[in-house]
Each structure stands twice: as C-alpha cells, then as structure tokens.
Chain A
Amino acid sequence: EVQLVESGGTLVQPGGSLRLSCAASGFTFSSYWMTWVRQGPGKGLEWVATIKQHGSEKHYVDSVEGRFTISRDDARNSLYLQMNSLRAEDTAVYYCARGTSSFFAGWFDPWGQGTLVTVSS
C-alpha cells in the first residue's frame, strides 16, 4: 500500500524556521516527482513546491521562493520542506503528495494526511 506520512508541523513564531518531513512507503520513491501542497484554514488548495526525480529540478510558488527549500533523500524514502522566514500567511495544513513517474510532474496521487503549521506570536 502506498503511504505518505508527514511530520514536523507545529506552532512557530513569525520569522522562525521549520522543517517538514514526509516518509514514503509502498512504492519506488526515487522514480516519482514529489510535491508539497498547503491549505490555509477554511481555504482552498495551494501548490507550494515540487521536486523531480533525483532532485534534478525544483519548482516553487512565487510566495515561498527564496524562503522555502524542497529536498529529498531517496535512500531514506523521504521528502522535506525547509521553511524559513515564516509569515502568518504560511499558516496551513501542509500535504505531501506523489506526482507521476514520467517526465512531467502531473497530478497528485496519493496525498498524505497533512501536518499543521501555525505561524503566530
């Protein structure tokens, strides 16, 4: 069974840093694009960042470019999101999601259960 389990979400002060992790199992992790998507309280889905197989490409939404870094450790079947200079508007549930095994990032399936990041003083 394909599983994605996020961790690392917590309450953090504005300007602070946080590292989210996503542990993957049940598939060949290194063969897939991987993505972070977030959902603010009562809001819709917002794509955050995507990393290609082997980390050869990384893409970010403009609002996090330069503050967040997506990375992966294929040996550990893990995806990460380093979040720096956090702002109140980064408050959201962060989902890890698997992309395709193709040359394009594609759709997201499946999704993890999410981890809550709250940025507040």
Chain B
Amino acid sequence: KQEVTQIPAALSVPEGENLVLNCSFTDSAIYNLQWFRQDPGKGLTSLLLIQSSQREQTSGRLNASLDKSSGRSTLYIAASQPGDSATYLCAVRPGDAGNMLTFGGGTRLMVKP
C-alpha cells in the first residue's frame, strides 16, 4: 500500500527565505504527483502537477521536483512571503492510472513578516 510522508509537519521561517518542503512515497510506481495548498477552513488549491516522466515543474516562485526512483519530491518556494502561510500537501496517483490519490499529511508553513 502506498504511503506518503511529508516532513517536517510544521515549519516557521522569516519572510524572504527560500525554503524546501519534502514529500516521500514508498511505491515508486506512480503516474503523477501533485502539490496542493490548503488555507485554514478552505479547500485545496492545486499548485503543480508533475507527470512521472518529468523531473520538475515551475510556476512563479514555486518549483517542484520529482525523483521517482528514490520516491521523493520537493517543493521549493523562493523568497517566501507571509501570504505563503498555509498547509502544503502532496498527493500521488498510482502507476496503474487508478483514480485514488494518496495524500501526505501536509506541512504547515508559517512565514513571519
């Protein structure tokens, strides 16, 4: 059974820092991986989707990388801002193209002004 782990569970950084959030998964046979953002009391917002054949995806200050063989993905946030404060979740889709995403527990990020 696929297991997805996100470390650290919580992170607090001063504004302006570059930071890396980690996501690891136990079964490397994935179809794709997504990063989401969740604000308190809100739904999830899709940030980046990386296909299994890709190494990275970029959107603005966000860069997500994928190393499928080692079962790891990282989300890099450049020049962090207080508005980046949220919980970040990664989710993997199984390699058999099934529709059951497996989510990590999330990293709660706080960016202090």
A binds B: no
- A residues in contact (CB < 8 Å) with B: none
- B residues in contact (CB < 8 Å) with A: none
